[in-house]
Amino acid sequence: MSLIRRIERAQKAAEAQAAEAMTPVPYEGVRRAVSIGREQQLRDVRDALQRDVIASSHELFSAVDGDELHARIGGIVDRMLAANSFAVTREERLRLIDEVVAEVTGLGPLEPLLRDDTITEIMVNGPNQIYIERKGKISRVDTSFMGDEHVLRIIDRIIAPLGRRIDQSSPRVDARLADGSRVNAIIEPLSLIGPVITIRKFAARPFTVEDLIRFGTASPDMFEFLRCCVEARLNIFISGGTGSGKTTTLNVVSSFIPEGERIVTIEDAAELQLRQEHVVTLEARPPNLEGLGEITTRDLLRNALHMRPDRIIVGECRGGEALDMVQAMTVGQEGSLSTGHANSAPDMLRRLETMILMAGYEMPLRTIREQIASAVDLIVHTARLKDGTRKVMNITEVYGVEDDVILTQDIFAFEQTGVDENGKIVGELRPTGERPTFMPKFAASGIELPPGEFGIPPESPEHPVKARVGKGRSIGIDAGPNARRRLDFGLGTAHVAGGMVYASSVGPVVPESGHVVSDLFNEQAHQCMANLKALLEREGSTLDRIVWANWALRDAIDFEHFQDEWVKWFGGTAPMGQGVIMPPAHRRAGFRVSLGVIAQI
C-alpha cells in the first residue's frame, strides 16, 4: 500500500473517530471535573485526549510534518472541547495542544520540564510522582503519567534511538538525550513502585568559569590556581557526592587544557562538553540482546593508550578501570583528569584502593597505595551544602606515601563565615598555610604565578616545605633554601674515636643531585654501598675493615635482596651485622634501605 493511500485511510479513521466524538455524551472525566476545579478539569481533558485520540492515530501523525501535526491535533482538540461544551482560554487551548504533541513526538509530561532551564534534575517515581530539582532544592510537580505503560512508552522512546533495551531480563538502562542529558531508568522487578526515570539535565550552554564564580562554587583565584595546575600537567581527581557538581567542575577544569593537545574522553554515557578542537569522545556500550558485544570503560581506557593521547579524561571511575587510569597517569599521560564519588579527599583515596582491588589482580595494599600516591597529585573535593549551593570544599595535595599510608595536605579549604538573610551559606575557599611540594613544577613549566601566589605562604626556614615521599614522577631539582640540607641528608655521618670510625645514616642518595636514586630496591642498595665506601675512605678506612654493621630495611621481604648486594662488595667473608627498624626520617625521605657500620681506621 502506498504512503498516500495509508495517509488517506488514517485521515478517514481520524475523521470517523472525531465524528463519533461529536455526540452529546461527555467524557466521564470531564463530567467529574466540574466539581474539583479548573486545573483538574484540564487534566482530565488531557487524559481523555491521550486515551481516546492519540493511541488510535499514530499512523496519521507519523506521516506529517510539525506544522501540519499541530494543525491536525488542534482540530481534534477543538472538536473534543465543542462536543463536551467545555470552554477554555486561548492559553489553555495551546497548552492542551502542546501536551498532546509532546505525547506523540516527544517525552509526554516530561517535555515542559525539559524545556525549563531552571530545572537541573527530573525524577519520576512511578506514574503518579514526579519531582524536580531547582536551585539545589527538590520539589514535587503537579503532573503525572496515566499509568506504568505510559512511563514505559516514554522510556522506550528515549532508548530506542540508541539501540538499547529495557525489559524483564534487563530491567535497568543508562542512556542520554539528544542534548546530552543523562538518563537512568529502572523497572520491575527491581523497582517496586513502577518504572523509575532519573534525568540529569545539561545546560543548553556549557557552564564557564565565570558562571561557577557567579554561583559561588569557588573564587577567581582558585580557578586560576587550578588553571596553573592543569597547564603544569598535574594529575587531578574531582571527588564529591551525588549531585555535588563533579561533572560540571570537570567540564570547567578541562577547559584549561591548552589547544593543540590531543584529548581522549571516556564515559559510560557521554556527558562532557569540552571546548577544545582536538577531542576524541569514546562511549561505553552495553551488551546486545544476546548478551554479547559489551565494551566497558576499562576496554576503552586500554584502547585509548594506543591512540597517542596527550591527556585522558575519564568521566567517572567506578570500578577496575581505576587501576588502568592510575597506571596511565604514571606512564606518560600526565595531566589526566577524572571524577569519583566520595565524601572527602581521603575517602576518594580509599575508594581508589577499593576500585583497584575490583580489577581482579591480587596486589599488596602497600603496592596499591604507592601506585596511587605516585599517580595522583591533586584532589578537588566538591559538595552540595544544606542551602542547595554547590561549592569546592577542599583542594588537597597527595605528596607521597609513608608507612603504607598515603600522605595528603589541604592547600585550600572552605571556611564558613555565616548565613545571609536568604539562608545562603556564606564562606570562602582559603589557603591553609601549607605550601604544595609541586610548586617547583610551575616554574619548570614556564608558568608565572601572580603576586602573592594565591595566598600560599612562601618557603622559609620557619615553614619548611614537606618532602615529596615516594612520588615516582620527577618535578625538577629543588633550588630553594632547604636544598643544601637535603643534599647532605642521607649521605651519612662519621665520627672517629679510639681508632674506630662510627658511620651512620648512609642512604641511597645520589651525591650530585641530593635525590634518592630510584624507587627500586636493588638500585637503592647499590647506591648505599657506594656511599658507604666513599665515606669510609674519606675517614681513612675501607670496607674490608668493617667489624660490625647494621642495616635498616623498610620491608623485611627485602632482606635476601640486600644480602645479595652486601656480599658483592667484599672479597672474602662479609662482616657480621643485624637488621634494625628503619627510622621515620628515612621512611619519609623515600628510603628502602640505609646503613650504619663500625670500622677500624
Of 455, 475, 510, the domain-final residue: 455
**Looking at the DSSP assignment, which residues form a beta bridge with residue 504?**
493
Q: Is residue 230 part of a domain?
A: yes
Same domain, 376 and 320: yes
- Position 520 scores a pLDDT of 87
Residue 524 near residue 554 (C-beta atoms within 8 A): no
Q: Is residue 59 part of a domain?
A: yes
Same domain, 285 and 351: yes
The predicted model gives 287-299 an average pLDDT of 82
Same domain, 392 and 309: yes
In which band, very low, low, confident or very high, does the pLDDT at 58 lie, cut at 50, 70 and 90?
A: low
Same domain, 100 and 116: no
Q: Is residue 54 part of a domain?
A: yes
pLDDT in tens, 361-381: 888 888 899 889 999 999 999
Collapsing DSSP to helix, strand or coil, 496 comes out as strand
> Which among 470, 320, 463, 475 is positioned nearest to 405, based on CA atoms?
470
In total, how many domains does the chain have?
Answer: 4
Q: Is residue 69 part of a domain?
A: yes
CATH number at residue 118: 3.30.450.370
Backbone angles phi, psi at 193, to 5 degrees: -115, 10
CA distance 260 to 478: 30
Q: Is residue 470 part of a domain?
A: no
| Interacting residues of 424 by C-beta distance below 8 A, sequence separation 6+ | 387, 389
DSSP code, position 421? T
Cell representation of residue 418: 555565616
Residue 17 in this model has a pLDDT that exceeds 80: no
pLDDT in tens, 255-281: 999 998 999 999 887 778 888 999 999
The predicted model gives 241-252 an average pLDDT of 90
Collapsing DSSP to helix, strand or coil, 581 comes out as strand
Same domain, 289 and 414: yes
Of 175, 200, 225, the domain-final residue: 200
- Position 137 scores a pLDDT of 85
CATH number at residue 288: 3.40.50.300
Same domain, 324 and 353: yes
Mean pLDDT, all residues of the chain: 82
Collapsing DSSP to helix, strand or coil, 131 comes out as strand
Supply angle C-alpha 473, 477, 483, rounded to 5. Answer: 130
Collapsing DSSP to helix, strand or coil, 51 comes out as helix
Q: Is residue 466 part of a domain?
A: no
Backbone angles phi, psi at 145, to 5 degrees: -95, 165
Stated pTM of the model: 0.67
Q: Is residue 460 part of a domain?
A: no
Tell me if the bond preceding 189 is cis, omega within 30° of 0.
Answer: yes
Residue 30 in this model has a pLDDT that exceeds 50: no
Same domain, 124 and 97: no
> Which among 172, 105, 117, 108 is positioned nearest to 144, based on CA atoms?
108
Same domain, 547 and 588: yes
pLDDT in tens, 310-343: 999 998 898 889 998 998 888 778 899 999 999 9
Same domain, 229 and 316: yes
Containing structural domain, residue 594:
483-600
Collapsing DSSP to helix, strand or coil, 283 comes out as strand
Of 414, 436, 455, the domain-final residue: 455
Residue 238 near residue 380 (C-beta atoms within 8 A): yes
Same domain, 247 and 280: yes
> Which H or E run contains 20?
helix 3-21
- Position 291 scores a pLDDT of 72
Same domain, 430 and 568: no
CATH number at residue 567: 3.30.1330.40
Q: Is residue 471 part of a domain?
A: no
pLDDT in tens, 134-168: 888 899 998 888 889 889 988 988 888 877 888 88
Same domain, 491 and 533: yes
